[in-house]
Amino acid sequence: MSSMWQGCLADTDYFEMRSSSGHHYGIWVTTPPGYNRATTRAPAVYVLDGNWAVGLTAPLIVTQMDPMQRIQPYIQVSVGYAGEEAQDWDRLRNRDFVPPGEPIAKELVDAVEMGLKAGARTREEADAYLAELRDTRADVFLGFLTTELHPRIARDYGTATSGHGLFGYSYGGLFSLYTWFTGSTLFESIGAGSPGVVADDSQIFTQLDEMGDARRAVKLHVTLNDRELLGELAVYQSLARNTATVLHRLISRGEAVTRDILHETHVTGLQASFLSYLRTCRYV
């Protein structure tokens, strides 16, 4: 990383990686202050939406040095998109984070059209955004994280053999929920911030029904924002309502799920959600 960027994201390496499915990813790896991979083995925490999230979340690695709320050591691995695709991260995440067969909710389509009318997207961009939701492959992306990226991180950074985490926000939070329900054994804790369970018939409810009497050993921490629930945008109201329903059903089953309501909007909630995950799941 250049000296300029090193000053902004201290102790951060960057590399690019092409998955076996042919997709091109940018990876930022942030190590703890004073980390010596020869003598210390820390677990990895994978943070999604790296193109957006790395600048908001990677600096929080200093919480490991906070004497008032010490956070367990971790290496942050922020996963985003590389090259020319980096500018299209907000639609490519639809392909990677959304479960296969996830319905496209009317509230989401309406929100995209609202953005079009407000000038936030062109017609071409809006159509491309929705097109990515018609063939979603969270299963493929999960395979990339667990069987391709993680072995490289473990080899190059000498990570611990256990204690790894996953954090995602919005559609990244939907992916986090999906991963938790699949029973993936790589992660010991998963944070799902404002998960994009927008459709009333989301695949998350299908996964919940298919659990039967099974239990998950992985810690799950879910956050929502009060302005999603109390605001006037239908897409966020649906997200909050459906996520609350998932939480209620999990808690009624006796699952050890933690949750937090944050005083943020959907856009401003990412950093607060990640910090809530650290405090709840990675507190010493």
Binned at pLDDT 50, 70 and 90, residue 5 comes out as low
Question: Per-residue pLDDT tens for 12-30?
Answer: 999 999 999 999 999 999 9
**pLDDT tens digit string along 90-124?**
999 999 999 999 999 999 999 999 999 999 899 99
pLDDT tens-digit profile of 118-150?
Answer: 998 999 999 999 999 999 999 999 999 999 999
Return the closest-CA partner of residue 178 out of 146, 150, 130: 146
Q: What is the DSSP letter of 110?
A: H
Report pLDDT digits (tens) over 188-225.
999 999 999 999 999 999 999 999 888 899 999 999 99
pLDDT, position 152: 98
Residues in the chain: 284
SS (H, E, C) 161-174: CCCCEEEEECHHHH
Q: Which CATH class is domain 3-281?
A: alpha beta
Q: Is 280 exposed, middle or buried (0-12, 13-18, 19+ CB in 10 A)?
A: middle
For 43, other C-beta atoms within 10 Å of its C-beta total 20
pTM of the model as a whole: 0.95
Looking at 83-170, list the stretches that DSSP marks H as alpha helix, in order from N- to C-terminal side. 89-97, 106-117, 123-131, 138-143, 150-157
pLDDT of the residue at 284: 78
